[in-house]
Amino acid sequence: MLADGAKVGRWQPVSSGRHAFDLAARSSEPGELVRALCGIPVSSDELQRVADELAWIGKATCMDCWRVLAKRTR
Ligand SMILES: [Zn+2]
């Protein structure tokens, strides 16, 4: 089954790792704090930045976000 983007959220590498966010978090105001699915606050600036290849490879996936998504899609 294909993942539904609106349901599963989006992964984004930020300074503290690779976290998942609701799609609504992407449209927040610049400088606003948004929460990853695991609850950590992240500046929306980081979220809206286009991540380069190295950021994707170098960041560890947040397992708390992963578990939240797994519950949603079950
Ligand atoms: Zn997370």
Alpha carbons 65 and 31: distance in angstroms, whole number: 22
Cα 27 to averaged position of ligand 1 atoms, centre (Å): 19
Domain count, the chain: 1
- Ligand 1 midpoint to CA 1 (Å): 24
pLDDT digits (tens, 9 = 90+) for 56-65: 788 899 999 9
Q: What is the pLDDT of residues 27-50, one digit of tens each?
A: 888 889 999 999 999 998 888 777
The whole-angstrom separation of Cα 42 and Cα 17 is 11
Q: How far is the CA of 36 from the centre of ligand 1 (A)?
A: 5
Cα 64 to averaged position of ligand 1 atoms, centre (Å): 5
Q: Of 25, 17, 1, 30, which is closest to residue 58 (Cα–Cα)?
A: 17
Q: Which domain holds residue 18?
A: 5-73
Highest mean pLDDT among 25-29, 52-56, 66-70: 66-70
Ligand 1 midpoint to CA 39 (Å): 7
